[in-house]
Amino acid sequence: MTTDAPPLLEVDDLHVRFRVRRGVFGGGSYTVYALRGVSLTMRAGETLGVVGESGSGKSTLGRALLRLTDLHRGTIRLEGQAVHALKGRMLDFRRDLQAVFQDPYASLNPAMVVADIVGEPLTVHFGLRGRERDAKTAALLDRVGLAADHLERYPAEFSGGQRQRIAVARALALEPRLIVCDEPVSALDVSTQSQVINLLQALQASFGIAYLFIAHDLAVVRHISHRIAVMYLGSIVEMGPAQRVCDQPAHPYTEMLLAAAPVTDPVEQRRRKALRRKLPASELPSPAEVLPGCPFHTRCAYATDICKQQLPSPSPVAGGGWAACHLLPAAG
Ligand code: SF4
């Protein structure tokens, strides 16, 4: 990954809203503010980890980039192309942005054999047929660690890890520049998780693919990511190099996520236990509410009066990146 190349992905002020019905028998509807002004850039060959609690907006961000959800406002550019402006069938023919989801069984057609699951996009997008398509499909399976004799089998005949490899092969078939990985290893056991992570890293090294890697497991995200974005109530509240964000979190919400993450080191366990005692236990506020001030002030152990009134701006953090918190010195 080079840092002086132009951005691969540029997201600016992205907003997503949903109207939700209150009940089956009427009662009106309300608005969920799922993304509230997300801006970020990614470079070719980079992995940006996205973490946050359930309801933080991290999966909505992935779906918004893939245009699987309507955008309320904002722009998405991939290699300068205005992805936010694509409509109808133009969206179906996108190759450069692909996805791997948590449950490969749900995303792989159970009635298709692997040869067709991986080979169909080769026909649709590159016009490959017959032996040419078979050879390319077999090569893709080999690239993800599956054998050619898997080609005529159905998804149900594979383990969870193998199904995820099939999903990766299908995404890879289209030679994407960026893959949105939404909890891609959460359903797998620990040893299978590391095999799939190693595979993703090897593919990145070979093809320069960028990953937006969405996960709740901070240890996994730290391992695979170059940078991490921390999301809270539809906004990014901290972003920076993975090691700095995990070792020296600047935002109290990142600190809270880290304190809740399991660790094996007994010294670190004691430190996190002490940290948890310091932090107030509370639930994520409703994403239908727009609170004044800092969105985290209702749960923050360090909140002061200004936090309830004024939205903090991003400030640079020593060691790289930024965080949006009034505790930090304002950007000069
Ligand atoms: Fe906590 Fe205030 Fe910082 Fe928000 S701005 S995270 S409430 S200290």
254, part of any domain = yes
275, part of any domain = yes
From the CA of 302, give the closest atom in ligand 1: 8
**Cα 27 to averaged position of ligand 1 atoms, centre (Å):** 35
From the CA of 297, give the closest atom in ligand 1: 7
Over range 261-270, report the average pLDDT: 75
pLDDT at 274: 74
Q: Whose CA is nearest to atom 5 of ligand 1?
A: 325
Phi, psi for residue 201 in degrees, rounded to 5? -65, -40
- Mutational test site, ligand 1, from 282, 313, 326, 328, max ligand atoms within 8 Å of CB: 326
**Residue 22 or 317, more confident:** 317
From the CA of 304, give the closest atom in ligand 1: 2
92, part of any domain = yes
From the CA of 294, give the closest atom in ligand 1: 4
- Mutational test site, ligand 1, from 302, 315, 322, 328, max ligand atoms within 8 Å of CB: 302
**Cα 304 to averaged position of ligand 1 atoms, centre (Å):** 8
132, part of any domain = no
Q: Name the CA radius of gyration of the chain, rounded.
A: 21
Over range 192-218, report the average pLDDT: 95
- Mutational test site, ligand 1, from 238, 255, 294, max ligand atoms within 8 Å of CB: 294
- Which residues form the domain of 184? 9-111+154-324
**Cα 329 to averaged position of ligand 1 atoms, centre (Å):** 12
**Cα 327 to averaged position of ligand 1 atoms, centre (Å):** 7
Q: Whose CA is nearest to atom 3 of ligand 1?
A: 325
C-alpha triplet 256, 224, 158: angle, nearest 5°: 110
What's the number of domains the chain is made of? Answer: 1
Q: What is the pLDDT of residues 275-318, one digit of tens each?
A: 667 666 677 888 888 889 999 999 998 999 999 999 999 999 99
Measured over the CA atoms of residue 274, residue 275, residue 279 and residue 283, the dihedral's sign is negative
**Cα 311 to averaged position of ligand 1 atoms, centre (Å):** 9
- Mutational test site, ligand 1, from 305, 309, 310, 327, max ligand atoms within 8 Å of CB: 327
Q: Region of 83 please: left (phi>0), alpha (psi -120 to 50) or beta.
A: alpha
**Cα 277 to averaged position of ligand 1 atoms, centre (Å):** 18
**Predicted confidence band at 39 (pLDDT cuts at 50, 70, 90)?**
very high
4, part of any domain = no
From the CA of 307, give the closest atom in ligand 1: 2
**Predicted confidence band at 2 (pLDDT cuts at 50, 70, 90)?**
low
**Cα 325 to averaged position of ligand 1 atoms, centre (Å):** 5
**Predicted confidence band at 42 (pLDDT cuts at 50, 70, 90)?**
very high
Say whether pLDDT at 209 is over 90.
Answer: yes
Q: What is the CATH number of the domain that holds 240?
A: 3.40.50.300
**Ligand 1: which residues within 6 Å by Cβ?**
251-252, 294, 296-297, 300, 302-303, 307, 312, 325-327
Q: What is the pLDDT of residues 58-102, one digit of tens each?
A: 999 999 999 999 999 999 999 999 999 988 766 666 789 999 998
**Residue 31 or 92, more confident:** 31
**Cα 297 to averaged position of ligand 1 atoms, centre (Å):** 6
Share above pLDDT 70 across residues of the chain, in percent, rounded to a whole number: 93
Q: What is the mean pLDDT of the chain?
A: 91
Say whether pLDDT at 266 is over 60.
Answer: yes
**Residue 237 or 25, more confident:** 237
130, part of any domain = no
pLDDT at 268: 74
46, part of any domain = yes
332, part of any domain = no
Using CA atoms, how far apart are residues 153 and 166, in angstroms rounded to an integer? 11
pTM of the model: 0.92
State the CB neighbour count (10 A cutoff) for residue 68. 13
